[in-house]
Amino acid sequence: MGDVMKLSSRLQAALYYCSGCESLADVGSDHAYLAIAAVKSVVSKAVAIDNKNGPYQKAVRNVRRHELSNRIRCSLSEGIEDIDEDTDVIAVCGMGGMMIVAILEKGASFIARKKPSLVLQPNNATSAVRQWLDSHDYHVLSETIVEERGQDYDCLHAIPKKQPSQLSPREILHGPVLLKERSEPFIRRLLRMVEVKKKALMEINKERIKEIIRLKEEILDLEDILDDCKTTV
């Protein structure tokens, strides 16, 4: 059935989180790579959604090339407005966190009603995504950092909460699972953040007292997390 689909590291991570589901909606699918790989390995069917005609046409061609038109529907539409009623996993990958939040917000009624698993992969503003999930009764079940071409992608797998809970400010900012697992990519990220903030502290105008205090507090918090990581190595 078509040729072999080779996924990037970040899409491999997203594919892993789709396991155990039946019907995928891949929002912002670009070339439909994730949808194709998912249908070939972990789900029964998929919708590949893009709001730009160029990527949509490429998705259509790829789906045909892999002879999967009977299992993957390509949709030229916005966000979650054109997904199947039986969708049980929604993937939104490879875009900014605020864009992902906007997509989730527009589809909030469907998400609240159907309670699908969410596979989200922001390349920035991940804290905004975690905040949205937490305030909409979703629990971050798994999360990982994928480093690809010099860019960090946070890959989150979220499911409806089974009981009331609330993330702490530190968990919103850094990730509840990442804080527990303390992986090497996570530690490298923290070290980079400390370096950037210390440089900013050295260069800041000494009269900007509030900013200086904020930076010092953020550095102390990061160093505290790093100290915790050392105790578990």
- Same domain for 197 and 157, yes or no, is no
- Same domain for 196 and 104, yes or no, is no
Q: How many domains does the chain have?
A: 2
Within-domain flag for 56: yes
Q: Which of 116, 131, 166 is the last residue of a domain?
A: 166
Please tell me whether residue 186 adopts helix, strand or coil conformation.
helix
Give the pLDDT confidence of 136-159 residue by residue, as tens digits. Answer: 999 999 999 998 888 889 999 999
Within-domain flag for 178: no
- Same domain for 89 and 122, yes or no, is yes
- Same domain for 106 and 67, yes or no, is yes
Sequence-distant (≥ 6) Cβ neighbours of residue 36 within 8 angstroms: 2, 5, 62, 63, 66, 68, 72
Within-domain flag for 201: yes
- Same domain for 147 and 202, yes or no, is no
Helix H or strand E segment including 8: none
- Same domain for 122 and 214, yes or no, is no
User: What are the two backbone dihedrals, phi and then psi, of residue 121, each rounded to the nearest 5 degrees?
Assistant: -135, 80
**Nearest by Cα to 143 from 152, 135, 151:** 152
- Same domain for 53 and 121, yes or no, is yes
- Same domain for 124 and 226, yes or no, is no
Within-domain flag for 155: yes
Within-domain flag for 207: yes
Q: Which domain holds residue 49?
A: 9-166
Give the pLDDT confidence of 13-44 residue by residue, as tens digits. Answer: 999 999 999 999 999 998 899 999 999 999 99
- Same domain for 227 and 161, yes or no, is no
- The reported pTM is 0.92
In this prediction, the residues of the chain whose per-residue pLDDT falls under 70 are 1-5, 231-233
